Chain A
Amino acid sequence: MLATLAARSCRTAAGVAFVAAVATTVFLTTAHVARAYHTRFIALNCNTNNPQPTSAFTRDGSTTVALNARYEGYQWAGGCWNDNNKDDSPNDPTEDPNTGGEGPDCSGFTFKVWRESTNSSDAGGYQWNMLRNVHGPYNALAFRNGDGAPNVTYAKSGLIRMDALASSSHIGIVYAPNADGTDQIIEAKGEAYGTNIWTRTYRGDSSYGGVRRLGWSS
């Protein structure tokens, strides 16, 4: 049990890719079983369009991107959603990364809200539309470590709106600080939660570190 818990992660990119490949094979050979829960949201709705490079991206603009995902679903390793304020793939099995449901996971959400490149050495801004299915190259731990050209670790006491708090297995974005010292965090929390704003105490929790995206124009 403890080993399982220790292995929990928002997403481990390489592992997920492998699992996804295996799961795809299983899906193709057992589609009649998979259809029992598979909403095929990604297959039916999402695209692979190129992102729009943007020379100026603002915290307010990224807040808009984040709010468009509010009330949508959660998909482990996912990165595609619409804006109808409901989870179109509710109750997906939590242990299956290949359910193809709606929504991002925590790190995929951060990647799209921060409008980053799939090339981790590129710090530029890229606008991905909601229905573009992309997760990006970072898991929660990579964000926590400040991996990638756009990302740096940052003192937690100095974090502001659209900065993030990341642990080894989860990341959430500061939406608004609260007067009692908690924060309103916008995050893709999990299958049972979806993507939304909640009050959290990540800032003071030593398992979380501060992360900032570089290059905001205001």
Chain B
Amino acid sequence: MPPRAWTDPGEAPHGHRRRAGVALTTLAVVASVVAAMLIAGPRQGALGAGGAPAALSEGSLQVTNLPPLLTTPDDPPTTLRYDVTCAAPDTNPDAGCDVAGTVFVRAGQSGPFRAIPLVLDPNAAVGRYAASLPGTLAGSSFSYYAVVHDNRTGQSVTLPAGGAAAPQRSILMPRPVTVSLGAHAFGVTSRASARVASAPWGDGPTQAGLEDGPQLEPIGGSSFDVDAAGNVTVLDEAHRRLLRFAAGKPTAPTSLPVDVRGTIADLRSRADGGADVLESAADPGQTPVMHSFDVNGRTTGTWHAAQNVASALRVGPAGPEALEYPSAQWMPIGAAAGARASLTNQIRRALTGRAQNAGGQIVAEREGAEARIALVDAHGGVQVGWRIRSTTPLAEIQLAEPFGNRVLVVLRTYTDAQDEFVALVLGSRGLEQQRSIAPDEWAETAPLSRFRMVGSSLYHLGSTPAGMFVDRYDLEVQ
């Protein structure tokens, strides 16, 4: 059944002409978060300040969207596509949905939203619910969110979850710097400047553990970080501890027990010697949590992610931020989200890119065999943007870190038989440095935890059947 427009368009939350649609949407978001906190009440005592558990509202209606984060003037007209899955009998999962959906879109990042109904494209294999943007938005930045309503169950989903308060943004790069990588030459990899940490697999005090079980790909040493002094911390999640390698002592770690689940998690070191760990798995009915540990490994806080998929942990100017789905946004978490109502703040302060100083963001997108990177100012303007074209397919963007007036980007390039990482130093006039790094990923880690940049060095977490290691690559730039 074709979807119908469900509710009226709204405006920015601070607009003078806010309409009932947006008010209701915003209220619904806030109410659902508050309800989640109330439902989860009995567990609150186990958590730190601001760490009320997030009860999952999985429901039966699920909506996903692959956002066009960065566009260029020569891109074809944008059609926003959504995958919608709704309740169906176990005996007839192909019954199909009876949903109504509306995309609310506006030029730039302020002003009123315009409602565009989602229309079922019956011939599409995926992204079957589509909204073609008006021509007036062609060649411009825009922001948007969708509200999808299941007519059978009455359930509604807003995506991103913050709705008008934190819409997804699509940012035009008016004059991107184009970098053409051509076809990747596999097997020509750089040597590391130094191996700064290594540990064999095993259960000893200086060894790194592998998660147990006959069913698993090997998983171990699931994330790492490096502080300004060059000290390396590895999350040895299988042993529920941190392995700390002091600078200059790459094979003699000290271990520090920490209260984590023992499954894949991301890690960030803090300047005070403590660490934050973002779990990927969660207790039943809960979202993943981020733990904060002090320098002695004592838990100082535990905060739930607002959404049920938490992919990566980074540190922005205000503190930790997590990449969460299905909103596909970076959300402040823990102290960065405020001591109270952190779930609400996560959702309402979500960003398309990672927060930078002075209200800026760094936005990264991979589209087919092209990666796009942009430094965006607080007003949504692109300071500098890059299009990285490759004739060999590109997989994930592992890292995109600004330093000075440059950006360091680490991409994975792949075929069906090979893969390697490619580290690029991008300047305002194009590619300044390029090197290939062998994947060395015998053991699985958190998805976006294989590289870190500290100072002017790139660090790589790798593994072989013998053990894990961290290599340092010194970038030949000032």
Contacts and interface: CB of A to CB of B under 8 A. Distances in A.
Interface string B110-129: 00000000000011111010
B396 A76 contact: no
A52 to B, nearest CB: 6
Interface bin, chain B = 35 or more
Contact of B416 (A64, A156, A182, A192): A156
Contacts of B308: 197
B213 A201 contact: no
A190 B285 contact: no
Nearest to A209: B416
Given A71-B56, A175-B64, A192-B211, A182 B311 contact: yes
Contact of B447 (A74, A87, A155, A200): A200
B456 to A, nearest CB: 24
Interface in B364-412: 364-366, 368-369, 371, 393-397, 411-412
Given A11-B215, A94-B213, A205-B419, A1 B202 contact: yes
Interface in B182-220: 201-202, 210-218
A58 B217 CA distance: 30
Interface string A50-83: 0010101111111111011011001010000001
A37 interface: no
Contacts of B88: 61, 64
Interface stretch (B89-97, B100-108, B291-299): B89-97
A85 B281 contact: no
Nearest to A192: B263
Contacts of B67: 179
Interface stretch (A2-10, A23-31, A40-48, A116-124): A2-10
Contacts of A181: 366, 371, 394-397, 411-412
Contact of B94 (A1, A54, A201): A54
Nearest to A169: B217
B364 A180 contact: yes
Contact of B263 (A54, A94, A176, A193): A193
A205 B421 CA distance: 10
A63 B396 contact: no
Nearest to B393: A157
Contacts, number: 214
Interface in B244-303: 261-264, 280-281, 284-285
A188 to B, nearest CB: 8
Given A1-B202, A190-B213, A192-B213, A178 B395 contact: no
A159 B49 CA distance: 43
Contacts of A156: 393, 414, 416
B328 interface: yes
B66 interface: yes
Nearest to A161: B126
A123 B126 CA distance: 22
Contact of B284 (A59, A63, A71, A169): A71
A130 B92 CA distance: 12
A206 B418 contact: yes
B405 to A, nearest CB: 23
B448 interface: yes
A1 B203 CA distance: 11
A213 interface: no
A46 to B, nearest CB: 13
A181 B405 CA distance: 25
B118 to A, nearest CB: 14
Q: Which of A2, A86, A129, A176 has the most CB of B within 10 A?
A: A176
Given A59-B126, A201-B396, A204-B412, A10 B215 contact: yes
Contact of B218 (A8, A127, A191, A193): A8
A106 interface: yes
20 contacts: A8-B216, A9-B214, A61-B94, A62-B93, A63-B83, A64-B86, A64-B93, A67-B60, A71-B58, A85-B58, A94-B215, A127-B91, A180-B364, A180-B396, A191-B213, A192-B262, A197-B308, A203-B395, A204-B414, A206-B419
The 7 closest A-B pairs by CB, nearest first: A204-B395, A181-B366, A61-B94, A94-B213, A86-B284, A199-B311, A181-B396
Given A67-B85, A203-B414, A205-B419, 19 more contacts: A1-B202, A5-B218, A9-B215, A64-B88, A85-B56, A86-B284, A94-B215, A157-B368, A160-B125, A179-B365, A180-B365, A180-B448, A181-B395, A182-B396, A189-B216, A198-B309, A201-B448, A216-B125, A218-B125
